[in-house]
Amino acid sequence: MHPYGVRDVEKLLRLPRSTIRALIAAGFVTPARGPRGRWLFSFQDLIVLRTAQALAEADVPQRRITRSVRQLRRHLPETMPLSGLSIGAVGDRVVVREGGSRWQADSGQYVLEFGGDPESGALSVIERNNPAAAASGARGWFDRAEELERDDAQAAIAAYEGAIDADPALLDAYVNLGRLLHEAGRLAKAEQVYRAALQACGSDALLLYNLGVLLDDMDRGTEAMEAYRAALRDDPGLADAHYNLALLYEKLGRPKDAIRHMARYRALMGTSSA
Q: Is the pLDDT of residue 268 over 70?
A: yes
User: pTM (2 decimals)?
Assistant: 0.54
The predicted structure's pLDDT at residue 271? 63
Find the helix packing angle between 153-166 and 171-183, rounded to 10°. Answer: 150
pLDDT digits (tens, 9 = 90+) for 91-129: 445 555 544 433 222 222 222 333 444 344 444 443 334
The predicted structure's pLDDT at residue 13? 72
pLDDT digits (tens, 9 = 90+) for 197-210: 999 999 999 999 99
What distance in Å separates the CA atoms of residue 13 and residue 54, rounded to the nearest whole number? 11
pLDDT digits (tens, 9 = 90+) for 12-68: 777 778 878 877 887 778 888 888 888 888 877 887 787 777 767 666 676 766 766
